[in-house]
Amino acid sequence: MSDNGCGFPAPGLHSFLFKPIFEVGGFEFNKVMLLALLTTLVVVSFFYLAFGKAKVVPGKLQMIGEAGYDFVRRGIVYETMGKKEGEKYVPLMVSMFFFIWIMNIWSVIPLTQFPVSSIFAYPVVLAAIVYLIWVPLTFKRHGFVGGWKNITGYDNSLGPIKWLVSFIEFFSNLLVRPFTHSVRLFANMFAGHLMLVMFTVASWYLLNSFMIPAAGVSFVMTIAMILFELFVQAVQAYVFVLLSATYIQGAIAEHH
């Protein structure tokens, strides 16, 4: 029974907590970790099967793999960093895109029904990987002084406000940027899963009450939310990788 006594099991933070499947030496392995591991296996297996024995005349699986790879390479990396600078980062961006996308898709798969990205730790780690690439790259490309100018946007032509602008840019780039990078993905997946759980549970609850017509409406909303989530899941993977490419491009670009 719920706290209000109506019997409706309202979704909440408990919807994101899972009992450990097993425990070894104090380390707990739960459903979310299993899904993250399965995501890795799915992505690696797909690209191995698609390109492990690549042919001049590609089969269906290779064609799908090439289409996905080319979408990220040309649509995100080349458009953001250019072909010359971006080529070396294509494998990373492709891996991140499909890893995030599959992590999100588990939300609408029967039995799993949970987006791994709705657990904050996973977007944080992915954002940290990008952060640890573009910050050292900035100093490697521009030197110590030039690196700080790139990060802070220091510009003498700004006059008296140059220090204020530099402080804002420093705070934004080094502190706010990695936080918003991870929160954007997490928040969308968290909210989407909460809405899906709410409509799904409501459909079942209303179906077992005298409000059967309302259960039909709730079920239609559930289907609509699933379709919408499929769109959002792909968009969030795209946005995360696009921002990653933009941050790395900013590291190799001349400061302004």
Question: 77-104 pLDDT, tens per residue?
Answer: 999 999 999 999 999 999 999 999 999 9
pLDDT at residue 56 is higher than 80: no
Q: How far apart are CA 220 and CA 23, in angstroms?
A: 40
pLDDT at residue 209 is higher than 60: yes
pLDDT at residue 128 is higher than 90: yes
Question: What are the residues whose beta carbons fall under 8 Å from the beta carbon of 176, sequence distance 6 or more?
Answer: none
Query: In this structure, what are the phi and psi dihedrals at residue 169, rounded to the nearest 5 degrees?
Result: -65, -40
The amino acid sitting at 59 is: G
Per-residue confidence at 217, pLDDT binned at 50, 70, 90? confident
Rounded to the nearest integer, the mean pLDDT of the chain is 87
Predicted TM-score (pTM) of the model is 0.88
Whether 196 and 222 have beta carbons less than 8 Å apart is answered as yes
Q: How far apart are CA 251 and CA 256, in angstroms?
A: 12
